[in-house]
Amino acid sequence: MDCEHMLRLINHYMDGGLSQWRNKAVDRHMEDCPPCAQHLTAHVHSRQVVASKCTEAAPEALRLRISEAIVSITLETSPVELGTNPDFLR
Ligand SMILES: [Zn+2]
């Protein structure tokens, strides 16, 4: 795995969305690549800051508008993939 591939997977890695094999590949890459390990640490820290500072729930009307925009963008860019992940709006 190269650094570019690692950085593409970093959000999925943090969300626990990778297969066990890919997860281990990311772990191994970070053991051997201090810049990517630092990048992950910065990502984790920024998520923690956002989570601690952004505790208000969005109004329902805004959530609905965002969901509709996501569906619209998804349909424009990848209509095949929408059917494979119907739970993404929940
Ligand atoms: Zn790297």
Ligand 1 center–CA 85 separation, angstroms = 29
**pLDDT per residue rounded down to tens, the chain (90 residues):** 899 998 889 989 998 889 999 999 999 999 999 999 999 999 999 988 988 888 888 889 998 999 898 888 767 765 554 444 444 444
C-alpha of residue 78 to centroid of ligand 1, in Å: 29
Distance 34 CA to ligand 1 centre (A): 7
| Spacing, Cα 86 to ligand 1 middle (Å) | 32
- Confirm whether pTM is higher than 0.85: no
CB of 46 closer than 8 Å to CB of 54: no
Note down the domain range covering 11: 3-89
Radius of gyration of the chain (CA): 16
Which pairs count as long-range contacts for 13-18, CB under 8 Å and 24+ apart, including other chains? 13/40, 14/40, 14/43, 14/44, 14/47
Total domains, the chain: 1
